[in-house]
Amino acid sequence: MANFIPIDSNLISVRSPSGQNLDIAPAITRLAVSFTMDMCSEINFEVLDPGFKFAKANYFQIRRDITYDNMLFEISAVEVQRSTGYDPLYRISARSKPIQLMKRDKAAEAFTGMTPTQFAAAIAARFSMGFFGQETIKSQTIVKGRSANVDESVWDVLTRVASDNQFVVFETNNILFFTSQTNLAGKWGDPDFIFKGNTLIPFGWPESAQGTFPGAAERYQLIDMPTLRRSDDDPMDAEGSILVERTNGRQLRPGMTINLTGIPDFEGLYLITAVDFEEGVSDPVTVSFRIPSDPEAPAGGGNGGYTSPSDSSALPLGIETAIQDYVKRFIGIDPNTKPYTEHSNDYNRLVQTALLWAEDIWEQATISGKDARLTQMGVTVEGGTTSVAYLAVKSVMGLLSSNVVETGQGGVTITIKNALRTELTKLLGISSGRLFSDTYNRALKDAREIWEATSYQGQTALYNQFARKYGNTSASYIVLTRISNELRKDMPNLLNLNRPPTDR
């Protein structure tokens, strides 16, 4: 049985001005589909038109609607020439209709008192699109630029505002995405494959990712070895492409996350940037991808909590970056060692060793526990306290100790801090930025007071005090009540008994 969908009126048709679907499928000789993160979805198809039957009926007019796979496109370009026979051959390009409408919307307009994300969401709603956005904090006035030569369209403004925030903006499946790459990573993929909170498409070569993800071999078959590239311009960045069997490959979309295994120095999370295939044939799907990275942290946004599969979900991305930078500098200044880009195996081994220990140290709830783990590392790792991995971890001990809040009673546990962050992220819909930090710090300060109380009565009195102080609908008070069980787990069985040590 053929593993492709036939080109028929259920797959593609021309829409008349009255909304009727007109069948051109039998005359289509080729249909190519391209989904891309660079802009919007596009289809290109060729039609044999004997006697100009379709052309005379105005089927190929610019801006004519095309339906493909239940998505609405609009003809953006038309070319005609003689086919290999005598009949005329029309080549039609069609792009996502909402994006085409945005490009033509150049009426003078100003949006006041909106964050960039609120603006993008409003535009998505205007053009009846779904929306995926990363929150931004600062409200501003967003105006369409106008000059003697150029009038900005809605799409121009969207791309400009996205660039200002180091975001990507693109469309796929009638969803408008407005987010940083790192925030998007791990958010969209196959819901049957989740690893450390990341929803993924599992790719493995030469063996499938079957060991880690049962069922991956049957669902995502790779036709050939991936083509991958990393350069000296940015050794931590990488991109590639791969051929995927089309049964499930044609369902992949830009913005989805893949987990690549089996290729030394290139394993990890990648964002799909483009998906290209032809309909009516059994050829595989070409999937392009790159490591998610942003020019710099988005203003008021943050990285959205992205971690790679090899990272602990609790270890902040900034610590990982600091360790990577230390190893780069250490190897780079050694006159007897080639640049680290020429010793990628050594580089990756050192970084991975350091990250594993950093994760372990980060999870310790007290300063003494963290120091003990660092000492253990100095004895265990090859090279001891003179090894690059050890020195890299030691260089970030200040950061690794930042999650311990010292109090007179032993300190708020890491479990409580993580629970507080998790609940606050759920409540606010963001995981970083000024609003998040201010709310988190205030709630953490109050959590410390509750933690230090030596009786349920004392804790209850504090809860009531904070409800009066902030109001019982404030974010600070709500998250405190959500983690109340964590705050009371360490309550002594006997009232007024001194609190036992927390490092246990």
How far is 10 from 29, CA to CA, in rounded Å?
Answer: 16
Give the helix, strand, coil percentages of the chain, each rounded to 5: 35, 25, 40
Distances in Å between the Cα of 337 and the Cα atoms of 327, 328, 332, 340, 347 are 13, 12, 7, 8, 12
Mean pLDDT across the chain, nearest whole number? 81
How far is 154 from 120, CA to CA, in rounded Å?
Answer: 10
Q: Is it the case that residue 496 has pLDDT exceeding 70?
A: no
Helices and strands, counts by H and E, the chain = 17, 19
pLDDT more than 90, % of the chain: 35
For the ranges 301-310, 353-362, 398-407, 425-434, which has the lowest average pLDDT? 301-310
Q: What pLDDT is stored for residue 335 in this prediction?
A: 38
Q: What pLDDT is stored for residue 362 in this prediction?
A: 81
Q: Is the dihedral of CA 433, 434, 439, 444 positive or negative?
A: positive
pLDDT digits (tens, 9 = 90+) for 200-212: 899 988 877 666 7
- DSSP per residue, 160-214: HHHHHTT-EEEEETTEEEEE-HHHHTTTSSEEEEEETTEEEEEEESSS-TTTTST
Is residue 298 very low, low, confident or very high in pLDDT (cuts 50, 70, 90)? very low
Q: Is it the case that residue 84 has pLDDT exceeding 80?
A: yes
Q: Is it the case that residue 477 has pLDDT exceeding 80?
A: yes
Q: What pLDDT is stored for residue 467 in this prediction?
A: 81
Q: Is it the case that residue 23 has pLDDT exceeding 80?
A: yes
- Establish whether the linkage from the previous residue to 292 is cis, with ω within 30° of 0: no
Q: What pLDDT is stored for residue 377 in this prediction?
A: 86
Q: Rounded mean pLDDT of 244-270?
A: 91
Distances in Å between the Cα of 286 and the Cα atoms of 82, 134, 240, 289, 406 are 30, 28, 11, 10, 53
Amino acid sitting at position 3: N
pLDDT more than 70, % of the chain: 83
145-159, 196-210, 230-244, 254-268 — which one is most confidently predicted on average?
254-268
Q: What pLDDT is stored for residue 427 in this prediction?
A: 82
User: pTM of this prediction?
Assistant: 0.59
**CB–CB of 362/335 below 8 Å?**
no
For the ranges 52-56, 66-70, 188-192, which has the lowest average pLDDT? 188-192
Q: What pLDDT is stored for residue 210 in this prediction?
A: 65
Q: What pLDDT is stored for residue 314 in this prediction?
A: 52
Q: Rounded mean pLDDT of 268-280?
A: 94
- DSSP per residue, 279-335: SSS-PPEEEEEE----SSPPTTT--TT---TTS-TTS-HHHHHHHHHHHHHHHHT-T
Q: Cα–Cα–Cα angle for 129, 132, 135, nearest 5°?
A: 130
Is residue 345 very low, low, confident or very high in pLDDT (cuts 50, 70, 90)? low
pLDDT digits (tens, 9 = 90+) for 44-55: 999 999 999 999
Beta strand pairing status for 88-96 and 140-143? Answer: unpaired
Q: What pLDDT is stored for residue 235 in this prediction?
A: 55
Q: Cα–Cα–Cα angle for 116, 122, 124, nearest 5°?
A: 105
Distances in Å between the Cα of 167 and the Cα atoms of 159, 276, 300, 477 are 9, 23, 12, 32
Q: What pLDDT is stored for residue 405 in this prediction?
A: 53
Instruction: Enumerate the β-bridge partners of residue 177.
Output: 132, 170
